[in-house]
Amino acid sequence: MLAFVLRRLGMTLVAVWGALSAVFLVLHTSGDPALMMAPVGADEEQIAALSHALGYDRPIAEQYVAFFGDVLRGDFPDSLTFQQSALHVVWERLPATLTLAATALALACLGAAAAGLWAGGAGGRGGARREWPMWLVFLAQSVPGFYIGVLLVWIFGVELRWLPTSGAAGPAALILPAVTLACGVTPPLARVFRNSLRGELARPYTRTGTALGMSRARVLRHAAHGSMLPVVTVLGLEAGALLGGTVIVESVFSWPGVGQLVITALQNEDYPLVLADLTFLITAFVLVNLIVDLLYGLLDPRVRHSSGRS
């Protein structure tokens, strides 16, 4: 088990390095940030001096080696706009994003569990009376997240004035962005849970349970447990959609998290800040997938034993 975790952690590092390299190269071929920072009226020499001071006049290979050298020494370059440790700036914004993502994930799990149980719990019988939650799910999946966000802002913020639409001021401000974010993650979860549950309910052990006089709730509990594996796989994949979604949702709702930060950093050509921000996002994505892999072991003893032997 430990070897498995260590190997996965190693792969995590490789994934982060690969993703950062790609972003580094794209960023550094798109222009010199000194041009963005120079005051109006600055001439070529002043811009060249600024570019030199920041190290952006060096060949890209040299900048690449210097950047990863700094990162390996734990000395992440300073943000150009904030003029302090880029990692620190991202760190300050991280709680806001984690709160939003965790709330959205909890909402998505609740929504998917409810819709999946209702639609899949009858084992495929029940028709439209059972299927209507899946239509809602289908609708939520068809509409892009930013559109849902703007729609919610309009209805609940501007027209009804029930809920705040910006700024992370108090728990009420969490509702709209979390619901918007959850709308993107719930559909695949609900769908896979419903199908998986249906499949379990058609298997002999649930029929045996029913025949032995087990209550419907107890049968469903066993079937739900059995149908968890594919759900957890999708959960891992959707973590990426969730993190990507925060970038859009945070912009729509002025949520002061890492998603909003990365957009402004890109607009300002603040390369170190973009890289620091993405380091967090990529690491979070890879870590979630690691956790999902570990959950497999907990949910399915067969996985645990085979990886233990290898």
Partner 1 sequence: MTALGRRGFLGLGAGAALALGLTGCLSAASPAARARRSEAVIGLSAAVTTLDPMNTTSVGTDLSVLSSVYSSLVTRRPDLSIGPDAAVSWDRPEPTRWRFRLDGNAAFADGTPLDAEAVAWNVARLLDDGNALRMTSNFPLLRGAEPVDAHTVDLITAEPDADLPAALSFLYLLSPGWAARHNPATEAMGSGPYEIVRYSPGGNVELRARPGYWGPAPAIRDITFRITPSESARVSGLLSGELDMVAGLDPQDLERLAADRALTVHQLDTTRMAFIKLNTLTGPMRDIRVRHAVNYAVDKRAITGSLLKDTVDPSPGQLLTADYAGHDDGLTGYPYDPERARALLAEAGFGPGRPLSVELTVPSGQYVAGDLIVQAVAQQLRQVGVRASINSIPFTVYMQKYLVDQDMSDMQYITQAWPTLAAGGLYGLFVSDSPYAYWADEEFTDAVTEARASTDTARRDELYAAAARRAREQAPVLFLFPQPGIHGTAKNLRWQPRPDDWVRPAEMAWKEAA
Question: What does the binding site for partner 1 look like in residue numbers (CB under 8 A)?
Answer: 30-33, 35-44, 46-48, 53, 79, 81-84, 88-89, 92-93, 96, 150, 153-154, 157-158, 161-169, 172, 251-254, 256, 260-261, 263-264, 267, 269
Report in angstroms how near the CB of residue 82 gets to partner 1 at its nearest.
Answer: 5
Report in angstroms how near the CB of residue 245 gets to partner 1 at its nearest.
Answer: 15
- Cβ within 8 Å of residue 44, ≥6 positions away: none
Q: Which is nearer to partner 1, 199 or 256 (CB)?
A: 256
Report in angstroms how near the CB of residue 217 gets to partner 1 at its nearest.
Answer: 21
Contacts 24+ apart (CB under 8 A), 145-148: 145/180, 145/181, 145/183, 145/184, 145/245, 145/248, 145/249, 146/248, 146/249, 146/252, 148/180, 148/183
Integer Cα distance of 206 and 200 in angstroms: 7
Integer Cα distance of 310 and 297 in angstroms: 14
Report in angstroms how near the CB of residue 286 gets to partner 1 at its nearest.
Answer: 24
Report in angstroms how near the CB of residue 265 gets to partner 1 at its nearest.
Answer: 9
Q: Which is nearer to partner 1, 18 or 55 (CB)?
A: 55
Report in angstroms how near the CB of residue 33 gets to partner 1 at its nearest.
Answer: 7
**Does residue 240 contact residue 184 with C-beta atoms inside 8 Å?**
no
Q: Which is nearer to partner 1, 157 or 244 (CB)?
A: 157
Q: Which is nearer to partner 1, 78 or 200 (CB)?
A: 78
Q: Which is nearer to partner 1, 30 or 215 (CB)?
A: 30
Q: Which is nearer to partner 1, 101 or 248 (CB)?
A: 248
**Does residue 179 contact residue 225 with C-beta atoms inside 8 Å?**
no
